[in-house]
Structure 1
Amino acid sequence: MKIKEGYVINKLGGGYVVVTVGDASRDFNGLIRLNNAGAFLWENIRDGLNTKEKLIRAMLDYYDDLDEETARKDLDEFLEVVEFAIEE
């Protein structure tokens, strides 16, 4: 998986927003708000972690008190929110 071209993340106040630039603005004209965990996942996908298993491993390594079941659930919820910005 990877982030489609034209979707960028920006820090805004205490959180993050994903917006579109260029041609991507024709397909999505809005923004996505992400918390710190969402931004962590977005940035890891952007940086090349391209499978669920790699992302789960990164989450478990980064968050000390996170168990695998919760990581899988949280990742699935995140991917549902940003599905239109992700391609396989």
Structure 2
Amino acid sequence: MKIKKGYLVREIADCYIVVPIGERVIEFKGIMTLNDTGHFIWRCLAENISYNQLLACILEEYEVDEATAKTDLDVFLQRARDSAVLEE
């Protein structure tokens, strides 16, 4: 899975905002803001990565147990799917 082409992240007032460009403006659903962890996940999704690889990256980067990391990652990925920014 990875982020579809045509989306940028901009930092505005200590918050990361997903910005569609070109044709993506038409299909983008709503607004997507990212905290620091969400921005980390977004950067990991810049290249094609499996769910397990992504989870391993999170566990390596943050001091969090696997169950919490999975739950938070699942929420992030569902939000990305709902916003139509994820290519699977």
Question: TM-score higher than 0.5 here?
Answer: yes
Larger RCO: 1 or 2 (CA < 8 Å, sep 6+): 2
Counterparts in 2 of 1:71 and 1:21: CA distance versus 1, 3 Å: same
Unaligned runs of 5+ in 1: none
Partner of 1:80: 78
Aligned-pair CA distance for 1:12: 1.2
Aligned length: 86
Give deviations 1:14-68, integer Å, cap 9, x for gaps. Answer: 110101000111112643111111000001111x2511111111011111x2011
Which residue is equivalent to 2:22?
22
Kindly report which structure 2 residues correspond to 1:4-83, keeping only aligned pairs within 5 A, or say none: 4-28=4-28, 30-46=30-46, 48=47, 50-63=49-62, 65-83=63-81
- Aligned partners of 2:55 and 2:39: how far apart in 1? 14
Q: 1:68 to 1:26 in 2, by over 3 A?
A: same
TM-score by length of 1: 0.90
Q: Percent identity?
A: 36
Cα RMSD over matched residues?
Answer: 1.3
SS in 2 for 1:50: coil
